[in-house]
Chains A and B, each alone.
Chain A
Amino acid sequence: MSKSFISVIIIIALLTLACVWEQISVEHYLNDIYNQALAIENYVDDKTDVNAPELKKMVNLLDASWDKHEEMLCFLINHKDIADMATEISRLKSYSKTNQEEDFKATIKVIIHYTTAYRHVMGISLQNLI
């Protein structure tokens, strides 16, 4: 076996590993954020007080989860998109603090939209291929 053949086999193995790792980790991390954001949205759906202690706890948990996953996602997702998500989560915390119900509900929808959009962009689909 030639050196170049061995190099190509190693590259293929690395590419396969990278693809599998990307699919699994992105799906896992974004799913985690999506579920938490969805839980917040459901919680505030019929409420007017977005400054409730339980909601604050949920928002803080979302923020902590994002911080935890952010570093890893930086390897895979455009950093501008990651910064957008971090900005929205910060806004969410701020709206909760000032009890701005409408803005809070709008922001949580944006976060849900971002997680869905990232999953679409990173995943394998016909739309992405064309």
Chain B
Amino acid sequence: MLTIIIRALVIYILVLFVFRLMGKRQIGQMQPFELVLTLIIADLATIPMAELSVPVLHGIIPLLTLVVAHYFLTLISKHSTKFGYFISGKPIIVINPKGIDEKALHSLNITIDDLFEAIRGAGYFNLEEIQYAIMETNGTVNVLPKSAFSPVVNKDLKLKVEETSIPVTLVSEGKLMKDNMNLAGVDTPFINKIMKKAGIEKISKILILTINKSGTIYIQEKNKTSKTFENTEVKS
């Protein structure tokens, strides 16, 4: 039994490493060959994990071989568009200003119902709203609406709005995020000042503390409600 536990841990660490090396794509974003690779890896990993008569190397070697193959396949795809199209296919326009492209649907082997499902998933329920719909290589459909149905943006209204920024987490579950503090240009006395303002005694009691570029602070004590402070001075 102990052997199985150790083998499982070894394979688990290896599979983690393999997936980290493959990148951070989610299943829905995978190219067909990446999905196939994921399925093969899952299958390969289980054999030496559960079957004690199979040497662990018989699982490790093919896993690593697939990683290398995947790396070079991706590398060649990046450098050669033709090869990339051969491996992953290319995006196909399924709806154009003239309407639905039946030939494209036929070549993609999808039905009108599948197309409707996909465009509904993209947030469009009426075909007349769509200028173009493109079936991407990973199977998702992206829609370009007709100008009349495009959402209004600040630019259309000629509104001057402040650029938004990503809030930086300074404290998470009672732990100071030193790298983020450097990024935001704040120090521990600054955190203490905010804590005092929010009525929190210890850093360990903070659930979350974030700050954005404009100096807005969001702080929440564990098991308490959140507080927001506007326009706090932040060193740039």
Contact = CB atoms under 8 A, between A and B. Distances in A.
Interface of A: 4-5, 7-8, 11-12, 14-15, 18, 74-80
Contact of A79 (B55, B61, B64): B55
Contacts, number: 35
B53 interface: yes
B221 to A, nearest CB: 39
B65 A15 contact: yes
Contacts of B65: 15
Contact of B53 (A7, A11, A18, A79): A79
21 contacts: A4-B21, A4-B71, A5-B71, A8-B21, A8-B71, A11-B67, A11-B68, A12-B68, A14-B64, A15-B65, A15-B68, A75-B55, A75-B57, A76-B55, A78-B53, A78-B55, A78-B58, A79-B52, A79-B53, A79-B55, A80-B53
A77 B55 contact: yes
B41 to A, nearest CB: 14
Nearest to B55: A75
A11 B55 CA distance: 19
Contacts of A79: 52-55
B10 to A, nearest CB: 13
Among all A-B residue pairs, the 6 with the closest Cβ atoms:
A79-B53, A80-B53, A8-B71, A11-B64, A75-B55, A11-B68
A79 B54 CA distance: 6
Contacts of A11: 64, 67-68
Report the contact-size class of chain B (Cβ under 8 Å from the partner): 10 to 19
B52 to A, nearest CB: 7
Contacts of B67: 8, 11
Given A4-B71, A8-B67, A15-B61, 13 more contacts: A7-B21, A8-B71, A8-B72, A11-B67, A11-B68, A14-B64, A15-B64, A15-B68, A75-B57, A78-B55, A78-B58, A79-B52, A79-B55
Which secondary structure characterizes the binding site on chain A? helix
Contacts of A14: 64
Among A11, A14, A15, A18, the most chain B Cβ lie within 10 Å of the Cβ of: A11
Interface string B56-74: 0110010011011001100
Given A4-B21, A8-B68, A78 B54 contact: yes
Contacts of B71: 4-5, 8
Contacts of A5: 71
A62 to B, nearest CB: 23
B4 to A, nearest CB: 14
A61 to B, nearest CB: 27
Nearest to A11: B64
A78 B51 CA distance: 10
A4 B68 CA distance: 10
Nearest to B57: A75
Contacts of B57: 18, 75-76
Contacts of A12: 68
A14 B68 CA distance: 11
Nearest to B54: A78
Nearest to A79: B53
B2 to A, nearest CB: 16
